[in-house]
């Protein structure tokens, strides 16, 4: 699973580099700082426990540098995962650090709709006792809406994967795969 994800990420980065080669060779003055902050909710796709799925609330902020259509940044995300199903429910929390990449259909400078794809991968370390650790990644696509006052908001659909490394005795990990929606600001 990890090899498949890394191969896909590598192919995506090569494709972006080839597609926007001229943009990537411009001077440093073309790089601009960006911030993307979002809140999203994902619904579990797989049963992690007997007859239970895991839904999650995510809050994420990414800071980085962008060219007119391609951006790279580092992110900080907190997630609250809750089991859904019959019987007692469980709750897991994470704080993850991620590397992020986004690609827009056109430069994000005008007041029209703009479409994007983005992805991120990282790790959630165990910082506090109530937080769990494990590998994480996400992929999303969405639309950016620019207002007349040049404020940018976005709506996205996303796939999220979170691994918890202190569970199942046989494999040593619990995998949560989920699909959801998010909203946020982009400036």
DSSP state of 127: -
Q: How many CA atoms lie within 13 A of 6 on its CB side?
A: 5
Closest CA to 162 of 184, 148, 142, 179: 179
**What does residue 112 show for φ and ψ, rounded to 5 degrees?**
-95, 175
What residue has token string 């909710």?
41
Q: How much is the pLDDT for 26?
A: 46
**β-pair partners for 50:** none
- Domains of the chain by start residue, with CATH: 34-186 (2.40.160.20)
Q: How much is the pLDDT for 132?
A: 83
**What does residue 77 show for φ and ψ, rounded to 5 degrees?**
-135, 140
pLDDT (tens digit, 0 to 9) for every residue of the chain, 187 residues total? 555 555 555 555 555 554 544 444 444 457 889 999 999 999 999 987 777 899 999 999 999 999 989 999 999 999 999 988 777 788 889 999 999 999 999 987 767 799 999 999 999 998 887 788 899 999 999 999 988 888 899 999 999 999 988 654 455 678 899 999 999 999 8
What residue has token string 């809406």?
145
Closest CA to 60 of 162, 151, 129: 162
Q: How much is the pLDDT for 23?
A: 47
The secondary structure element, H or E, covering residue 90 is: none
Q: How much is the pLDDT for 13?
A: 53
Q: How much is the pLDDT for 25?
A: 47
Q: How much is the pLDDT for 1?
A: 53
CA 14 to each of CA 9, 21, 27, 158: distance values in angstroms, whole numbers, following the listed order: 9, 10, 20, 22
Q: What is the pTM of this model?
A: 0.79
């Amino acid at each position: 699973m990890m090899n498949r994800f890394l191969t896909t990420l590598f192919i995506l980065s090569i494709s972006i580099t080839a597609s926007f080669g001229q943009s990537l060779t411009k001077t440093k003055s073309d790089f601009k700082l960006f911030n993307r902050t979002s809140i999203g909710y994902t619904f579990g796709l797989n049963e992690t426990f007997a007859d239970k799925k895991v839904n999650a609330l995510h809050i994420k902020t990414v800071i980085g540098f962008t060219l007119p259509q391609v951006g790279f940044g580092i992110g900080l995300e907190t997630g609250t995962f809750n089991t859904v199903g019959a019987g007692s429910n469980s709750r897991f929390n994470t704080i993850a650090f991620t590397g992020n990449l986004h690609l827009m259909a056109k430069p994000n400078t005008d007041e029209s709709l703009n479409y994007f794809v983005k992805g991120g991968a990282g790790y959630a370390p165990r910082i506090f006792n109530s937080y769990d650790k494990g590998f994480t990644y996400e992929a999303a696509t969405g639309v950016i809406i620019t207002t007349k006052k040049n404020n940018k908001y976005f709506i996205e659909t996303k796939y999220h994967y979170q691994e918890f490394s202190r569970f199942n005795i046989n494999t040593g990990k619990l995998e949560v795969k989920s699909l959801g929606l998010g909203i946020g600001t982009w400036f």
